[in-house]
């Protein structure tokens, strides 16, 4: 039995101790050298990207992004708001002849103001620290300043998040009517059971981009946003840190707000799995992805692997960035 198969019992009263033990077991500092800025994205090599191209069979494509508009889930927590889209030039301006262009030319321009993590996005390696330490053992204060992340900014992986995607539809496998209830902690046992139930195309390999569908977004579509942003949710258990580390995946994304189960599994804690996964494992986390249409297609044809491109917008120095992931089968 490997570490990823062994059930772990948490001491709910000791988040500091449990986080420290998990971080020590799963720390990848120095694995790719002292200067590394790409973390687990190093697992996604050129040959794996090339091989992923062979997964395209039908050419059917699925955008895995939620909308970027004022009708999103954000409520202003930590100054996170929904996108504000404003027109700078419009058709009415053109019709009025006030744009100053010659020979009847008219046009439209617009602008969007938004937090970079207000909708479908990647968490970069500068997003979370562990006791003041960032990815690869660097002092957080020397990595992210008021000028941004000068070391592991999201632009460092702008060219690399393309490869084999694998959907683990835990909601469909372990839930009722394709959905897990809020507060459901997805363990390594649930992940492995889903892989077994879905069959060989959902085998998780080194360098994969793993997508975990909980079904919460589908429920939110019916019932309204409610507390989707920061409230109770199904998600990854803190105990999956070993599975995330040992599987040597490049990245993982979910359809909920914060990747991990909420409420968190300790009496007093906030996103403890982030604290292990990002600064210690060096793992890229995707949040608020729309996996419903892809999940339906995978369930229909029985194939859970696909070509996936999910490059973040390369905002220089950003600790996270929006993305429109596209899966092609």
Contact indicator for 179, 171 with CB cutoff of 8 Å: yes
Taking the model in full, what pTM does it have?
Answer: 0.96
In 3D space, the residue among 22, 5, 17 whose CA is nearest the CA of residue 279 turns out to be: 22
| 51 C-beta neighbours (distance < 10 Å), count | 14
Model pLDDT, residue 7 = 62
CATH for 15-76+115-328, among 3.40.350.10, 3.50.30.50, 3.90.1150.10, 2.40.100.10?
A: 3.50.30.50
pLDDT tens per residue, range 182-215: 999 999 999 999 999 999 999 999 999 999 999 9
- Report the distance separating Cα 295 and Cα 277, nearest Å: 25
Q: Which residues of the chain have pLDDT under 50?
A: 1-4
Segments of the chain assigned to CATH 3.50.30.50: 15-76+115-328
Model pLDDT, residue 1 = 31
Model pLDDT, residue 9 = 86
| 328 C-beta neighbours (distance < 10 Å), count | 18
Model pLDDT, residue 2 = 40
């Amino acid at each position: 039995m490997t570490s990823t198969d062994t059930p772990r019992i948490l001491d709910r009263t000791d988040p500091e101790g449990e986080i420290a033990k998990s971080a020590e077991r799963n720390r990848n500092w120095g694995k790719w050298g002292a200067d590394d800025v790409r973390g687990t994205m190093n697992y996604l090599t050129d040959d794996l990207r090339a091989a992923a191209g062979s997964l395209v069979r039908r050419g059917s494509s699925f955008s895995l992004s939620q909308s970027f508009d004022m009708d999103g889930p954000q409520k202003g927590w930590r100054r996170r708001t929904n996108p504000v889209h404003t027109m700078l030039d419009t058709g009415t301006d053109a019709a009025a002849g006030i744009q100053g262009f010659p020979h009847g030319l008219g046009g439209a321009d617009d602008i969007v103001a938004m937090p970079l993590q207000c909708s479908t996005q990647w968490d970069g390696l500068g997003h979370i620290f562990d006791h003041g330490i960032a990815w690869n053992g660097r002092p957080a204060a020397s990595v992210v300043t008021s000028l941004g992340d000068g070391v592991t900014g999201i632009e460092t992986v702008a060219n690399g998040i393309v490869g084999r995607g694998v959907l683990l539809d835990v909601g469909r496998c372990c839930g009722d009517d394709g959905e897990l209830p809020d507060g459901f902690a997805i363990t390594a046992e649930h992940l492995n059971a889903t892989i077994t139930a879905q069959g060989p195309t959902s085998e998780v390999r080194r360098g994969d981009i793993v997508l975990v569908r909980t079904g919460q977004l589908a429920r939110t579509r019916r019932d309204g946003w409610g507390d989707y942003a920061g409230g109770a949710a199904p998600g990854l258990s803190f105990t999956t840190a070993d599975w995330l580390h040992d599987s040597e995946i490049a990245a993982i994304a979910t359809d909920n707000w914060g990747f991990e189960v909420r409420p968190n599994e300790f009496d007093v804690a906030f996103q403890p799995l982030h604290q292990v996964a990002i600064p210690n494992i060096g793992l890229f986390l995707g949040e608020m992805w729309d996996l419903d249409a892809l999940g339906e297609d995978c369930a229909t044809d029985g194939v859970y692997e696909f070509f996936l491109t999910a490059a973040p917008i390369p905002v220089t120095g950003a600790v996270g960035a929006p993305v429109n992931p596209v899966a092609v089968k």
